[in-house]
Amino acid sequence: MFRSSTSPSSADNGDATPNTRGHDGTGRTADTAPTPITVAYGDGIGPEIMAATLQILEAAGAHIAPDIIDVGADVYARGIAGGISDAAWASIRRTKVFLKAPITTPQAKGVKSLNVTLRKTLGLFANVRPVQTYDPCVPSGHPKLDVVIIRENEEGLYAGIEHRQTAEVTQCLKLISRPGCERIVRYAFEYARAHGRRRVTCMSKDNIMKITDGMFHRVFDEVAAEYPDITADHSIIDIGAGRLAAHPSRFDVIVTGNLYGDILSDIAAEISGSVGLCPSANLGEAGAMFEAIHGSAPDIAGYGIANPSGLLLAAVTMLRHIGQTAVAERVHGAWLATIEDGIHPADIYDPEHSTAKVGTREFAAAVIERLGRTPVALAHLAGDPARNTAVSPRPLAPRPRPTKQMVGMDVFLDWDEGERDPNALAETLARCGTHGLSLQMITNRGVVVWPNGKPETQRTDHWRCRFMAEGDTTTDHQALVALLESVRLAGFDFIKTETLCTFDGAPGFSVGQGQ
């Protein structure tokens, strides 16, 4: 068995390729201690597939010292609200290499996703999800699929900032930063250049979300100009997802936001043959986390039928990351040989292409039996560099701060009186204008209902009321506070405000019908 580690090694310095002193590519010499890594068995099918993965790594000669931690359901049950203890955090920060099995995230209730918390807290900004097909051994209908999806890991809707604001309306804030956009886009181009890939496609929805997704697209175009050797293009996310599903060979590297990347990688994984085949690497400046892209699948937990391939291939990526390349290739080659021999777990079993349907333990045993084998039908995938994630983008250049001027405020109200008549609401609010601020428009769920609203527009109890400085003047915090006091005295329940500002003279807020 691997011995547990409690002492740091060269992996602690955060280098992208630590512990590389060995002559065989494993990072091993006579005086080299095994590389400490943190391991979490997770829940659902996690314990089963992690046990299989570690068994294969040990048999292959991986020179690692796992430090086992508990995260997820069992930790929540012990009353630790975050699902992870201080000791577990300390282990991850010490080793800087984390191999994690799936963790169950409650749906529509319960605690915030621990997966998201781990990525964001540890600064793991780049989520690299390579997807390939294994035709003819695992038929998919897309034999040329070979795409790497690079997903921004820290921002967007996955910030998890949600509120119920009225009886009828909830909100989720989508936060996008320029440094976050630039960092992930540069990573994507550096990754493409390092791995001989010729195209990077940005996907966003900036025809609708012109400020948030618009920033992502604008930064992409700016950064792309610095990489003339790589073709750069953009696709609206909806048609881009459709094209990925129908014609995946059109794509090489895709860079996109957090939610979009999650969805796109699952689409690509499914059309490759199974979501159970795909690994994921989460990279940051101070560490890395490796996992399968799929979830904990509690419906099949305990039956011994889960496919460990996604986690195993993530472990292969981890071995490359810590400099144990020879062991990584030994495991990868054995896995490919197992797949081409038709030894398949249930999710990829097909009587026409498989020779045996096996459970988790049997599949692990088959991989171990083939250690040292060289694949034949899938030889072109052996040693694939697409899963080597050790890329360090250039530091972000400082940017001058724009001139910011305050020009108004959006006041959000919980208002449910009479027939919800926006004209009646506007009549009262117009008298609340003060200190050079006047009511300009009222929207309901983003649609203008005053002035010149349409009777067909459905109205909820949630209203955005825009007050702007009159003429071309600006305003200040004192005037905004006075406005809110006037709204309060008029008997309204304000639930949220947004200060409206220009940046170098350009509006920093949505304008117009339907915005």
Task: State how far the Cα of 391 lies from the Cα of 146, in Å rounded to an integer.
Answer: 19
The amino acid present at 511, given as its one-letter code, is V
- 120 given a catalytic annotation: no
Which strands sit side by side in the sheet containing 404-414, from one edge to the other?
A: 447-450, 437-444, 462-469, 404-414, 493-503, 506-507
Q: Is 347 a catalytic residue?
A: no
Beta-strand ranges (E) seen in 378-485 are: 404-414, 437-444, 447-450, 462-469
Which residues have C-beta within 8 Å of that of residue 410, sequence separation ≥ 6?
464, 465, 466, 467, 497, 498, 500, 509
- Tokens at 468, concatenated: 């702007």
Q: Are 176 and 139 in contact (CB under 8 A)?
A: no
Sign (positive or negative) of CA dihedral 340, 316, 32, 39? negative
Distant-in-sequence, close-in-space partners of 332: CB < 8 Å, separation ≥ 6: 313, 316, 382, 383, 384
The pairing of beta strand 199-204 with beta strand 253-256: parallel
CB contact at 8 A, 71 and 83: yes
* Residue 262: active-site member: yes
Long-range contacts of 299-306 (CB under 8 A, 24+ apart): 300/45, 301/43, 301/44, 301/45, 301/48, 302/48, 303/359, 304/48, 304/359, 304/360, 304/361, 305/345, 305/346, 305/359, 305/360, 306/45, 306/48, 306/49, 306/276, 306/345, 306/360
Cα separation, 82 vs 451, in Å, equals 47
Tokens found for residue 462 = 């949630």
Task: Quote the tokens at residue 121.
Answer: 């807290």
Of 76, 134, 158, 191, which is the active-site residue? 158
CB of 102 closer than 8 Å to CB of 112: no
* SS3 category, 85: coil
**C-alpha 179: how far from its chain's center?**
16
Tokens representing residue 97 in the block? 């290499």
- Report the candidate in 199, 172, 179 with the shortest Cα–Cα distance to residue 123: 179
**Rounded Cα–Cα distance for residues 25 and 21 (Å):** 8
Check 76, 205, 260, 341 and give the catalytic one.
Answer: 205
Residue of 135, 213, 262, 414 marked catalytic: 262
Q: Shortest CA distance to 279 belongs to which of 340, 321, 216, 231?
A: 321
> Is-catalytic flag, 205?
yes
Locus of tokens 């936001």? 257
Q: Which positions are annotated as active-site residues?
A: 158, 205, 238, 262, 266
